[in-house]
Structure 1
Amino acid sequence: MQETPAKILLVDDDPGIRLLIQHGLTRAGYQVTEASNGLEALECFETAKPDLMLIDVSMPELDGFETVAAIRQREGGEIIPLVMVTGSDDNESVTKAFHAGATDFITKPINLPILTQRVRYALASAEREQRLRRIHLEQQSACQLAKLGFWRLQIETGQLQWSRDAASLLGRSAAMPTSVAALIEEARPDQRQRLQLAFDQAGTRAAGLDLEIELARTGNACIIKLQSSPQIEDGVIVGAFQDVTALRAFEDQTLYLVEHDELTNLPNHRLFSRLLADRLERDRHAEARTGMLVIDIDRLHRINEAFGPVQGDEVIVTLANRLRQLLPSNSLLCRLESDSFGMAIPLESTDLATLQAQLLSQLILSLQINGREIYIDCSMGLAIHPDDGQEAASLIQAAQAAERETNRDQSRRFIQFSEIREARAEGRVILETDLRRALEKQEFFLVYQPQQCLATQRIEGVEALLRWNHAERGIVSPADFIPILEETGLIHEVGDWILEEAVRQAVDWLQQGLNLRMSVNLAAAQVENPNLINRLCALVKDYQLPPEQLELEITESTAMQVPEQTLLNLRKYKQCGFRIAIDDFGTGYSSLSYLLQFPLDTLKIDRAFVKEITRGKRNRAIVTALSTLSFHLGLTTIAEGVELESQRDYLDALNIDEIQGFLIARPLVPERLLEFMRAYEADAQPSPRQARSPS
C-alpha cells in the first residue's frame, strides 16, 4: 500500500534557499509547497493543509515569529509542527521562537541531511501527539459514550449522592433518588427485595455491589448496572452506574438479525437448528417421526454470473414463496445456505409420497429475465428422524448428504438418505480404522492461516488448522475426519498433539524473529477435560512460550454444551494468561447475554456473514452490531472467510479489527508461512490508520 507523502509548507523570502530546501525535501519523499512571506504563508496554510511548516525568521511584512503566532491561532494550527529557520542561534532568538509557538528550530546555513532528519522527527512527534490527544479525548468521552456515572452511599444515613450528570445520562426529567429507600421504591417490584439485600450486604459485609435493576421513569424505563468495590472508607461506599438499556435492547435486536435471513425473512440455519432440536425432543416423548428435507437450487451461480446477483436473488425469493405455499401445517421452513432451503415435516400428518410428487412438479421455477423465459430446477434430499439422525445437526447433515448425491446421479432429483446410508457406514468404518493409525504413522500435519490487522496492515497472528495426508487417499477433508475424531474420543490424543505442535512451532518462529499470536481450536471434549489446564501450563513452561501468545479458540456451540462448566474452565485458562476466542460466532444456539459472560479476548465473526456482506444489508447490520458490542466490551474482532477486496473494504468501514481468509493467504505449511511473512514484510508499506471507534 502506497503511503501518502507528508505535505510541507516552506516559507522563506529567499528564492535560492527555497530552491535548495525544496530540492532536498522532495528527494526525501515529501510534497513541498512554497510561500515567499508570512502573509502568503497564512493563505497557503488554509488551502494546502500542510502536515509541517518550515518558517524563516527574517521576512518582510510578517516575520517568522508573527507568522508562527498567527498560525497557532488558526483552526488546525494548534498541533501542526512549526520549525523555524534562523541565521542566529543565540538564546534570545531560540526563546522567542518557542514562546511564539515553534516546535523546533534549525540554523542557517542549511545542512540538508540534518534538516531532513529534524523534519522526520518533528512529523513523528506530531503524530504521537495527535495519537495522545485522541486517546485523551476518547477517555474524556468514554463515560458519556458508555453512559457511565458514579454514586456515593452514606451507610449510616442511607443517603445517596450521584454524579452531576446522572439524570441526563439516564434521560430522566426528575432528580435522582436521594436515598437507598427511594431508589428501591423506583425499582421494579420483583427486584426490590434483591436490591435491598444487596445494599444490606454491601454495607455490613463489605461485599461490593454488582447487579442490574430496572428503574421507572416518564414514558418508559431504564436498566442500570450498579457496581462497587468491597472497600468501605469512613462509612461510605463509592460505586459506578451504567445505563445498559440500549445494550440490552441491542442484544435482542442483534439476536434477531443473527437468526433470520435478510432476503427471505425466513429463519436461518442458526434459528432453524434450535427449533428443529426442540421439535425432535418432543418427537422422542411422543414417539413421532419428522422428515428433514433439503431443497437446493441447481447451478444458481450460473444465474448470478450470467444475469447478475439481483436476478439470482429473485430466484431465491421465488423459491421461498413457492415453498411457503407447499409447506404442510405444523412444519418448519428456513434458508439453510445461500442456495438451499430446509424443511422439517411431521410425517404422521403428511403423506410423504404426495408431498414428494408436489415438490417435484412445483419446484421447476420459470422466470422472465431480460425478456427471456429461464427455467431453474431444484434437487432434494430427505432424511428421517430418528432413523437417519438423532440430533438436529446430524439430521440436517444427512439430508444435505442425500441432496448432494443427486449431483452424482443426474437422472434423479429426489434421494433419501436411507439409500446411501449403508455405503456411507462402510466407508466410515474404514476411515475410522485408518484414523486410529494416522497419528502413529505421522500422517497428521498443521497448516497456518495468517490474520491481518486492518488498522496497521500487519500480520498479527495465525490459526493452526489440522490436516490429514492419508497414505492412499491423499489429503482428506477435515469435514470428513474431525467429526469421527470427536465421536470416537480420538480427539483427546490428536488434540494434545495439535497443542504441542502449535506451541513448538510458535517458539521456533520466535527464534527466527517471527512474533505471531498462535490460535488453536479446542474441541468440546478438550474443554470439558479438567486436566487440560495443567497440560497447557506445562507446555508453555517447557517450551518457554509466553502464555498470552497462545489463543484458545472454542466454537459457540461447544461453549454452550455445558455453559456453567465451560465458564469455570475458561476462567482458569484466562487466569493463567491464555487468550480466549469464540470461533464461528453467530452460528450456534446460545443466548448472546449468556455467552458474553465468558472471559473473552476475541470474537470471530463467521464466514457466513462475510460472504454476503457486500450485498446483504442485514449481514452488514449484524457485523456492525457485533463490532460495536465488541468495542464496548474490549474484544478484538476477526472476520473469517474474507476472499474479496470489496469484503475487506466493507469490514474495514464497519470497524472490524482483523481479517482472515484467502484474500490474505491460504493455510500454509510452516516453511511456506515463513517465506510468505518474509515477502510480506519486505513489500509492506506501513500506513497506520486512526484508532477505531464504535459505529
Structure 2
Amino acid sequence: MSEPRMLIVDDHDDNRYTLIRRLRRLGYPDCDEAENGQVALEMIRENTYDLVFLDLMMPVMDGFSTLRAMREEGLSDHLPIIMISAADDLENVAKGIELGAEDYLSKPFNPTLLSARTASALEKRSKAIANLNAAKYCDPASGLKNKQGLIEDLDSEASNVSAAIIFKMSKYSMVMSSYGNDIANRYFSSQAKTLRSMVDLEYPEVKEIYRFNDDLLSITLESNDSNSLVQIAHSLCRKLSGRKQVDNGALNEEVVAGVVADLDEVTSTDILQRLTSSLAQTCSNAPVALYDSEHTSQALRRIRVEADLKDAIDQQLLEVFFQPQVNVSTKEVVAAEALVRWKHTELGMISPGEFIPIAEENGMIVALGEVVFIKTLKTLKTLDKLGCSVPISINIGSDHFLMHNFVSWCSEAVEREQVPVQFVKLELTESTLLNSVEEGVKVLSQLRSKGFKIALDDFGTGYSSLSYLLELPLDQLKIDKQFVDMLDKDKRSENLLSHLVGLAHELDLQVVVEGVENEAQVSFMEHADADLIQGFYYYKPLPQQEFVYLLSKPVN
C-alpha cells in the first residue's frame, strides 16, 4: 500500500516547514505545499491527496473560501481536511467545520494531538474509500458482486477461473413493469438465494456468484469440462425456472443459460462478449447453449435484434398488417386478423418468427402486445369513421393476459380510442390458458361481459382442446393450418376437419379456417360448412392503408 499523500496549505513558510518535519517524523514523508487556497485548489484538482492541512487565515484565498470552493466542486466529499488555527479561535473553527472540515489543530502543533488526529483522519478516509469500492463492485439490492466486480476478479492476477455460466430470467422485465423496482429486486434476490443454496450444496467448483445485469446472474467456476458445465447449467436452470411467487401473484419463470469454457489466456472483455453471445444462442427449446465461435455472427445478430427491438417498441416503429377473413358463402371480407411486422432500417424485414420469441424471452412481449393493440384500435377508429368496420382479431400473449389489470387495461384503451367494443376480438391460444383454466374462464367472462369477442387460436394443436370447448366462454374457433395442409394427404383428415366444424357449430361457435391457399381447399371449406376463410388464396396480410382502402372502396 502506498504512503498517504498530504497537502500543507499555509501562507507562512515556517509553519509549513514545521508541520512537514513533524509529519515525516510520524512516518508520513509524502507532503506537498501550497502558500494559499487558490494554489491549493489547483493542486487538489490535478492530484490525489489523502489529507489536507488547511490554514484559515491566508491572503489571496483564505481557508473558508477554499472550503466552499472544494465543497461546490465535490473535491472534499471523501478528502479529510484538518484546519490549522490559533488556539483561541474557536468561532472560526466552528465555521470551518460547518463548511466541511474534519478536525482542527491549534498552533503551535502538539505532537501527540498531531499524531492522533492525522491517524484518525486517514483511517476515516480509508473506510470511505473502502465503502466506495464496495459500492462500485457490489449490487446493493442482492449483496452480490456486480458486473464491474466480475471484471475486477477476472483481471486479477490471482484469478484461476476456467469457466463461466450466465443465467437470464425471462420474466424479470415483466415483474419490473408490473410491480416496480423494489419487488423486482426482491424477486431477483430470491432467485440469487436459490442459486446460492444450490451452489453451496452441490457445486464446490463454483467460485463466485455475480449480478451481471438487471435480469442476469452469472457464476465463475474452476471446472473446464464442457459436458459437466452444460449439465450444471441445465440443473441450475431447472431449479431457477418454474412457478415462482411474486408479491401477491405468481409467474412461470423460464431461465436460460450460456456456458463459456476454456478461459485461459482470454481477456475479461472477451469473456463478457462470449457470455453474451452464448446466451443469445439459447431459446425455449434449447435453454442451455455452449459458446461456439462459429455461431458468433448469428448470436451477434440476435443481440442486435434484441437491442433494436426494445427501441422499436418504445418508438412505435412496429407496423400492424391486417389479413382479411372471407365469408365462405358470400366471398366478402367480413373480418380480419391483426399481425405485427417489423421493417428494420438496416436488416430489412425481420420475421415475427424471429423477433416475437426474443420479445417473449426478454420480457418485452407485453409492451409489444400493447403497441399492436393500440394501433389496431386506431385502425378500427378509422374504419368506423368511414362506415366500413369489421371485427379485427388481436393476438394476446400469455404474459399480457395473466396480468392482474388486463381487463381494465383493455376496457380503458377501447374507451380512450372511442372504438365500438363489438369489433374488438381477442385471440388467445390454448397454451395461454393451460396454467389456470379457472382463472382463465373468470377473465374471459369479464371480457365478454364488457362486449369483447373471444377467439381460441390454433385449435387442435394442444392436448385438451375438446374439453376446453365446454368450459371456456368463446365466440369463435380458429382451426389451425396444419389440418388444412393434411387434406390432400389423408382422407381421414377431411373427416376430422368436417367433424371439428360440426362440433364447433353444435357449441354455437363461429369457425375460421386458417391457411387456405388453393381452390380445392376453398371448395372443401364450402362443403364442410366453415364460416370464414383466412389464407393466401384470397389475401396476404395487408398494410394498414391497403386494408382500409379494400374495405372502403366502392363496390362495382
Q: What is the TM-score with the length of structure 2 in the denominator?
A: 0.47
Greater Rg over alpha carbons, structure: 2
